[in-house]
Amino acid sequence: MSVSQQLELWGRRGIRIDAARAEAGAAARRRDLAAFDAAGRLALVYAEAEAAQRRYLLADEALSLTEADTKAARLQVEEGREPALRGVQAQSQSAAAAAARDEALAERDAAFARLRAVALLAEPVTSVEVSLLDLSPAQRGDGSSTPPSVQVAEAERLAAERAIAVERVRAMPDITANVGVRRFEVDDTAAVVFGVSMPLPLFDRNRGNLRAAQAEYRAADARLSSARQDAAAGYAAASARLRASSSRVQATDVGVATAQEAYRLSRIGFEAGRISQLELRTTRSALIDARTTAVEARLTRVRAEIDLARLEGRAPYQGSSQ
């Protein structure tokens, strides 16, 4: 009977532990990156659901305005101040507005279904109460922090470097010590036996695995360089998009206020008979377009904030204020 134990010489144990820790660190970085991606996806789906809800409300309001204008136009036709063609045109616009509202309702329901699926909600989503579109973007950093994608690439390069050390030490011979007891039947005696075995790596120096590990390290180093360049370019682009979208939101708000006042004055002039139906329709369409543009501008700002948050390694709107 004998027991053998492999002797971990040449620093084999420490190198193996360092390699395992490097792999665990890379896995942790990938987990963090996946968490940021999931947070960004959830924020985007939520914002899209809120935008779809606003589009439906705008379409419903546009239908109400169109029906009110159609009723006013029908009265003018009955009074003989407008030809019968104007009444037909107004009725056609009401039908188009109703169809647009139904389409917006379908898009809203689809967006609510996506939100429920992504957020893993048990109950169907019927409305979005807390606004994300009106939320101000978070305070941006100075860009000095390391993006999560670069952290992942750095961890993977470190793991590849440690793998080279593992393959180098595997080229060293494995020394095994054994101790045992041997019993001799002839004279009924026993002896303690010690031994050391060491294979001679004459034809296997682990060169293939070592070269493969070195090639993987070079590939990881190239991925790290590419990740740093992409992160720098992405940060600059996301910052520029966020600034531009914030300015666009302010501009669209001014446009909505102006279009709303123009429609109010046009409606007064139309009822007084000083504004034609064509001019009223033009101002109403401008108001609807301005409100829709304002919603799209806010959704673009949300997308820019999500991209920037991912590069800065934080959840979207973390630390933001209303």
**Residue 178 counted as domain residue:** no
Q: Identify the domain containing residue 89 by its residue range.
A: 8-169+207-312
Contact by Cβ (8 Å): 128, 49: yes
Residue 188 lies in a domain: no
Q: Is 291 a domain residue?
A: yes
Residue 2 tokens read as 């004998």
CA gap 284, 58 in Å, rounded: 12
Residue 279 has a pLDDT of: 80
φ and ψ of 266, to 5 deg:
-65, -40
Residue 50, CA atoms < 13 Å, CB-side half-sphere: 20
Single-letter residue type at 68: A
For the CA atoms of the chain, what is the radius of gyration?
Answer: 36
pLDDT in tens, 268-280: 887 777 777 778 7
In the predicted model, what is the mean pLDDT of the chain?
A: 84
Decide if pLDDT at 319 tops 70: no
**For the CA atoms of 67, 69, 70, 75, what is the dihedral angle to 10 degrees?**
130
For the beta carbon of residue 103, count every other beta carbon within 10 angstroms.
13
- Residue written as token pair 């606003």: 54
* Total count of domains within the chain: 1
| 2 located within any domain | no
The pLDDT tens digits for 196-255 are: 777 776 666 778 888 888 899 999 999 999 999 999 898 889 889 999 998 999 999 999
Angle at the Cα of 158 from the Cα atoms of 154 and 163, rounded to 5 degrees: 145
Quick check: is 320 in a domain?
no
Average pLDDT over residues 131-143: 75
Q: Whose CA is closest to 86, among 286, 287, 280?
A: 280
SS3 label, residue 195: strand
Phi, psi (rounded to 5 degrees) for 175? -100, 130
- Would residue 193 count as lying in a domain? no
Report whether 258 contacts 283 (CB < 8 A). Answer: no
Distance CA 134, CA 320 (A): 11
> What pLDDT shows up at residue 166?
85
What digits encode the pLDDT tens for the residues 24-78? 999 999 999 999 999 999 999 999 999 999 999 999 988 888 888 777 777 767 6
Buried b (16+ CB within 10 A) or exposed e, 223-253: bbeebbeebeebbeebbebbeebbebbeebe
The CATH number given to whatever domain includes residue 291 is 1.20.1600.10
Kind and range of the H or E run holding 177: strand 175-184
- Asked, for residue 224, whether it belongs to a domain, the answer is yes
Among residues 105, 133, 138, the alpha carbon closest in space to that of 253 is found at 133
92 lies in some domain: yes
